[in-house]
Amino acid sequence: MKIAILSRNPNLYSTKRLVEAGQKRGHEIVVLDHLKCVLVIEKNRPHIYYRGEEVKGVNAVIPRIGASATFYGAAVVRQFEMMKIFTAVESQALVRSRDKLRSLQLLARAGIGMPKSAFASTTKYVDNLIEQVGGAPVVVKLLEGTQGIGVILAETHNSAKSVIEAFLGVKVNLLVQEFIKESKSADIRVFVVDGQIIGAMKRQGVEGDFRSNLHRGGTASSIELSKEEKATAIRATKKLGLGIAGVDMLQSNRGPLVMEVNSSPGLQGIEGATGVDIAGKIIEYVERNEHVD
């Protein structure tokens, strides 16, 4: 089988592991920078050019689309779908998961637990906005932020008000969320592939930082999930239509609370914490779903 990995950097850990796992199972693996793909759209013959040559013979695609390239990356994935090629993450699911507000609305409608969140476009009702999520301290999140960047803990009402007014004043979209004190600067990342949980880790933030992202110096360890945590992760993934997902949850007094569902979760932290061959599980998922004409 010929598998294309859409990745901007072939030297990234996740990309290298997928290449390694695919080759180990006898597949031909090519890495394509999705921003260098040219999409040709014509009646009955959608096709793609890469570095001046037409992309041919691909049986399946594994998208590794960064947040900054969502629009074009999703268009490339959609083009492969039009070519009737299996994609491990569908284009619509990718776009859906990247829209933080929309994804939270979908999860809330499905009855999935999450930190209480509020969204507004005007500074006129900031006091009410803060009160609606339980008052200070609150977490302010930029809708375009990733890896903990653009996530701020405002510990007092006045500091929260100042931060919110500053961002809204320059037309930056943000979410205001309740602060889950009992999570103690830790969260859970659950890795789901093809509707099955294949690994989970607990991430602990560094002292003095409420964010638990590994990119910000946090540490990770394997964790045994409760039945409710397992069910929540699987439901959230299915609701957003993702074949591969990293579900980030907080442990709270009222059960697991989903913060985000990531459509291109990194492999390094989860493989290191659990010892599970996550890349191999992804290749197996592709094998189960690819159909050679």
CATH number of residue 134's parent domain: 3.30.1490.20
* Residue in the block written with tokens 């008052």: 135
Contact between 234 and 59 (Cβ < 8 Å): no
> For position 293, what pLDDT does the model report?
42
Domain that holds residue 232: 182-263
The predicted model gives 236-255 an average pLDDT of 97
Q: How many whole angstroms from its chain centre is CA 126?
A: 29
Residues 125-152: tens digit of each pLDDT: 899 999 999 999 999 988 875 555 678 9
Has residue 247 been placed in a domain? yes
Question: Does 151 fall in a domain?
Answer: yes
Residues 6+ apart with CB under 8 A from 171: none
Is there a single domain that holds both residue 250 and residue 191?
A: yes
Query: Cβ contacts of residue 52 below 8 Å, gap of 6+?
Result: none
Residue 213 confidence (pLDDT) above 60:
no
Total domain count, the chain: 3
- Mean pLDDT, the chain, integer: 92
**How far is Cα 202 from Cα 215, in angstroms, rounded to an integer?**
14
- The average pLDDT across 195-212 equals 79
Residues 15 and 38 both lie in one domain:
yes
CA-CA distance, 182 to 59, in Å (whole number)? Answer: 47
Residue type, 65: I
Residue 36 lies in a domain: yes
My answer on whether 137 and 216 are in the same domain is no
The pLDDT tens digits for 267-293 are 999 999 999 999 999 999 999 997 644
